[in-house]
Structure 1
Amino acid sequence: MTQSQTPKGSLKKVPSDLEKDGVVTVLPGVLVDEAYAHAEGIDPVFMAKASVINSALEECGMGRFQWELFTSAGFGYFSDNIWLQSIAIIMPYVAIEDHFPGYPKIRMATFAMYCGLVPGALFWGMTADVIGRRLAWNSTLFISAVFGLAAGASPNFYVLCVMLALNGIGTAGNMVLDGAVFLEFIPSTHKYLITLLSAWWAVGQVVASLICWVFIEKYSCDTERVGIDGYRCDRNTNPGWRYSMYTLGAMMLFLWALRMFVLPMQESPKFLVSIGQDEEAVRVIHYIAKRNGRTSTLTVEQLHKAAEGYETSPSEAKEQRTLTNWDLAKRSFSHFNLDHIKGLFATRRLAFSSGLIIAIFGALGLAYPLYNGFLSGFLQAKGAERGDTSVSATYSSYTYQAACGIPGSIAATFLVEWGRGGRKFAGAFFTVGAGAFLFGLTAVRSAASVNALTCMAAFFENAFYGVIYAIAPETFPTPHRGTGDALAGGFQRLCGAFAPILAVYSPAANSPNGPVFSAAAIFIVAGLAMLALPIETRGRTTY
């Protein structure tokens, strides 16, 4: 029986030119099970080529290129949290300025940002599967920086909301794609580093807290003098929150320049082979090897031979290999349809997995801003209960808990590789733990107790976000990974948009403990749901 006649469901070895000019290459032949490929919703041609790419990445090793990419991808995680947290931190001081509404209406500024985060997550994620990862990678930080700067100059509440929404469109592309892009460039032995990326998220929260603390404490209105002897709280006497936005925007602009010009991204080789650009994929692999001080033996012929026997027809294979860049661009936009969404639900097992991941993202997307989005107000309320409403008391507590998220990421990185647990157990453990500490937080009053429990909650929160943002891209197949991340991220943001609405109009908002209690309950339910995920990605090859 010839290779092309091998029945579906059998194992077939992908040729790899094991010997060339008497020299044996280090790229091994790979086995592709067509039944397994169809069960996972992956095109066998792509799986065969991706297996060769995986071997080539192992050959390139974990070196300078990947560590630079880890840093550059971290900028996106950093940006995502720095904007979400800064809005939460500055709201109490925006609310006391002329031309801006007070509480609770000021919380709708957070809702405005989510109005940009939702379409942004969907747009950047879905375009990544159509026209590639580089557009979002090179655009998102710049967009968030420009409109973050503009938000600082807002003359009134309505302009501020528009600027935050536009900022959200750019910010949303970071978490949706950065982890997925990093996954597609690292050897399988180092996939745990995707979880460690969340440390950048915690660093973003710390930086936002410190910057806002410095400016707000020094350049904000004296709330005790407002309305006395003609004293007004306007942009001249209350520039602290604006200085914070200017500083953060300038910082993001600097990070964008680093990402764009100093640490330029290469297009994902797996994405390239998925659209037939085998030669470009080989060029990228050779670039990675050179950057790491190594030599790659990958050739275009190896990719072509890998696909032999899996293509539906020889003419289709030949056509795919001879497409010009313009043809590929036209074909990409012609494929802007539901195929990538259908690919996430191609089988019962994959459909259940994709659906549950999206639902978990939604639950966490609602619970996290219910607590963290209004944490500064919660801390102020707790301070008022014990007679301490100073800026330093509030923001020192905020900074302490933010810093505790960094070791949380490190702990999660170790636990996801634990042989008896893996990704699902780690995600459930940290998510349920975060909920438990939030329940405890609603019952304490002393400064020491509040700081201790907020720190532990931040530790567990950052850990579970690191885990879930690793599970999603590892589970979704590469041809549909951007779309999967878009649906998960988009639903997460959509649910998050209800947090400020609940915080303004829900009866639970009458008490500072109400949103915290609700977030705790959602965390526990979401954590238990993680145990039901049908696919454990620890030690699993990513296609």
Structure 2
Amino acid sequence: MSGDVHIQDAIDRVGFGAFQRKLFLICGVTWAADAAEILLLSFALPGVTEEFGLSPGQAGVVVTSTFAGMLVGAWFWGIMADRVGRRLGFQLTIAIFAVFGVASAFAPGPVWLAVLRALTGFGLGGALPLDFALFTEYLPTRDRGRWLVLLESWWAAGTVAAAGLALLIMPTLGWRWLLASSAAAALLVLWARMRVPESARYLLSRGDAEGARKLVNEVARVNGAPPVEQRLTLPSGKGATSPAELLRGALGRTTVLLWAVWLLIGFGYYGIFSWLPQIFAGEYGFLRSYQYVFFLALAQLPGYLSAAWLVERAGRKPVLAGYLGAAALATFTWAIADSTALVFVAAGLMNFFTLGAWAALYAYTPERYPTQLRASGLGAASGFARIGAVAAPLAGGALLAISLPAALSAFAAAFLLAALVVAGYAAETRGTRLDDTVAERTGPVAQAARLR
């Protein structure tokens, strides 16, 4: 061996191939299962409300319990993944949400249902950011933004699956069977996750240069690329870094910005989707509301695909700000719509732009953190989306008691404020190399990291 090579240069040299496609499939199926698990309770909510005789406020508490668990899970598992590794966290989170997700189908009352959904959320909250942290760290620079957005597009597949299951199961078998239907997908995901390797970047950040090189060479073998002979290096430092670094210096300003955006988009998105079946059934009298939600979910797919195309051409910042602004406009148009046709056009556009914005945000966030804090940073940011998700069903219930336009206008305002924060303060990351240490974030290497 002669000389050293930065791990990102080694991954860029190995390129995108069969290894990343397999990892994309595993993470994607996980992402779809997570989305379905989160949304199933929203689709089951009319049946839960009827069986237990819940008021709108009590129903909101049941929905909120999942997001409360996700809030704790996102923060806990993000920090743990930077301590014990991506792979172990990757497996434990899915096991937790599989076990308690199925158990919630047998809840004898609303209190037990809320507790079991909170425990389900504890696993889900960690699963979501860990998927992106692991996948990000195996992506070449040139393909990173596009494939991170495409990974997020599996959320639409999970949404469509959840709506389809609700359409098939709810009218005949009821909400318990709907929640239990997540078992097969969760077990499949757990089986697939057992075959995922550790992140080579993580091993290198812990000082295991030889283990990291072996993993990179395994990727090279699978991709049909030449092996890496040089020693892999980080630009400076190694070992664990305290999560307190997230709030220090320039990284602290980035963290506060991301927390604000995640909080606002979480409030707007979950506020709408927690109540969407109820809105269609109650406000518009659509007897087959799941069918309408199913078709609206299909509008998410072109939103993802357009964002995947644009993030590598226009950049992360304009896509994120633009899609958030368009989502705000579509949601407000829905609020003042006076015809069924306009309702579906506006709601469809809201789906298109909101999910495109989510995709851009999931691509952007891990790019803003160094390897030693990537899972912690993404988990903490994701946790703020769960704060928004906890508040949104409760606020939605209160605002819907006033009027539908009042609720939708509040969610539109959240999207608009998020767009303004991104437009005014976010930095562009297109074409930059991932940072590996906190020192790199503010040091000279960060200034020289731009590749194109």
**C-alpha separation in 1, matches of 2:342 and 2:202:** 49
Task: Work out the CA distance in 1 between the residues paired with 2:290 and 2:272.
Answer: 16
Work out which of the residue numbers 174, 183, 189 in structure 2 matches 1:249.
Answer: 183
Deviation at 1:429, TM superposition (A): 0.6
Runs of 4+ in 1 over 4 A off after TM superposition: none
Q: What pairs up with 1:185-196 in 2 under 5 angstroms?
A: 185-191=138-144, 192-196=146-150
Higher helix share: 2
SS at match of 1:537: coil
| Partner Cα distance (1:503, 1:55) in 2 | 48
1:138-153 equivalent positions in 2, closer than 5 A: 138-153=91-106
User: Would you say the 8 A contact 2:296–2:347 is kept in 1?
Assistant: yes
Matched, 1:86 2:40: yes
Please say if 1:281 is aligned against 2:183: no
Q: Tell which structure's C-alpha radius of gyration is larger.
A: 1
Q: Is contact 1:344–1:484 with CA below 8 Å preserved after alignment?
A: yes
Distance in 2 of aligned mates of 1:412 and 1:461: 11
Asked if structure 2 preserves the Cα contact closer than 8 Å seen for 1:435 and 1:521, the reply is: yes
Instruction: Supply the distance in 2 between the matched residues of 1:377 and 1:83 (Cα, whole angstroms).
Output: 18
Residues 426-435 or 242-251, more deviating: 242-251
Aligned 8 A contact 2:30 2:189 in 1: no
Q: What per-residue deviation string (whole Å, max 9, x for no partner) do you get for residues 337-391 of structure 1?
A: xx433333443x332222101111111121211111111111113323xxxx41x
Corresponding position of 2:448: none
SS of structure 2 residue aligned to 1:442: helix
Q: Given the alignment of the two structures, is residue 352 of structure 1 paired with residue 253 of structure 2, yes or no?
A: yes
Asked if the contact 1:79–1:141 (Cα under 8 Å) also holds between the matched residues in 2, the reply is no
What's 1:137 paired with? 90
Give the whole-Å Cα distance in 2 for the aligned partners of 1:303 and 1:198.
30
Q: State the partner residue of 1:205.
A: 159
Q: Tell me the matched-pair count.
A: 434
CA distance in 1, matches of 2:405, 2:393: 15
Match of 2:450 in 1: none
Q: What TM-score do the two structures reach when normalised by structure 2?
A: 0.91
Counterpart for residue 470 of structure 1: 363
Letter in 2 for 1:124: W
Look up the equivalent residue of 1:156 and give its one-letter code. G
Q: Specify the code of the residue in structure 1 equivalent to 2:357.
A: F
Q: Name the SS of the counterpart of 1:497 in structure 2.
A: helix
User: 1:298-317 maps to which residues of 2 (within 5 A)?
Assistant: 298-299=229-230, 302-303=231-232
Q: Which residue of 2 aligns with 1:325?
A: none
Question: How far off its partner does 1:175 sit?
Answer: 1.9
CA distance in 2, matches of 1:404, 1:534: 27
Give the equivalent residue in structure 2 for 1:510: 402
- In structure 2, the CA distance between the partners of 1:530 and 1:463, relative to structure 1 (3 Å rule), is same
Amino acid at match of 2:310: L
Gaps of 5+ in 1: 1-15, 19-28, 30-50, 220-239, 312-319, 321-331
Question: Could you say if the C-alpha distance between residues 442 and 303 of structure 1 is closer, same or farther in structure 2, counting changes exceeding 3 Å?
Answer: closer
Taking the aligned partners of 1:117 and 1:472, their CA distance within structure 2 comes to 18
| Identity between Structure 1 and Structure 2 (%) | 28
Distance 1:177 1:303 in 2: 23
TM-score in terms of structure 1 length: 0.76
Question: Which letter does structure 1 place at the counterpart of 2:176?
Answer: R
- Alignment match, 2:394: 501
Deviation at 1:445, TM superposition (A): 4.3
Alignment partner of 1:297: what SS?
coil
One-letter identity of the residue aligned with 1:250: A
What is the DSSP-based 3-state SS (H/G/I as helix, E as strand, rest coil) of the residue aligned with 1:218?
coil
Q: How far 1:409 moved relative to its partner?
A: 0.6
| Correspondences of 1:384-399 after superposition (within 5 Å) | 384=285, 389-390=286-287, 392=288, 394-399=289-294
**Paired letter, 1:341:** P
The AA in structure 2 aligned to 1:276 is: G
User: Cα gap change, 1:281/1:521 in structure 2, threshold over 3 Å: closer, same or farther?
Assistant: same
- The 5-angstrom pairing of residues 65-104 of structure 1 reads 65-97=19-51, 99-104=52-57
- Residues 303-351 of structure 1 show CA distances to partners (whole Å, capped at 9, x for unaligned) of 36x77xx67xxxxxxxx8xxxxxxxxxxx8xx6xxx433333443x332
| Pick aligned residue for 1:427 from 292, 310, 320 | 320
Distance 1:104 1:379 in 2: 18
Instruction: Map 1:30-69 onto structure 2 (within 5 A).
Output: 52-69=6-23
Paired amino acid for 2:17: G
Q: SS where residue 361 of structure 1 aligns?
A: helix
Pair 1:412-2:307 in alignment:
yes
Note if contact 1:357-1:488 (Cα within 8 Å) is conserved in structure 2: yes
Match of 1:42 in 2: none
Q: Does 1:449 align with 2:342?
A: yes
- Which ranges in structure 2 are unaligned for 5 or more consecutive residues? 436-452
**2:2 counterpart of 1:17:** yes
The letter for the 2-side match of 1:184 is E
State the distance in 1 between where 2:134 and 2:254 align. 21
Following the alignment from structure 1 to structure 2, what is the Cα–Cα distance between the partners of residues 196 and 533?
25
- 2:130 counterpart residue number: 177
Change (3 A) 1:84 1:431: same
1:129 is paired with a residue whose SS is helix
Alpha-carbon separation, structure 2, partners of 1:289 and 1:346: 37
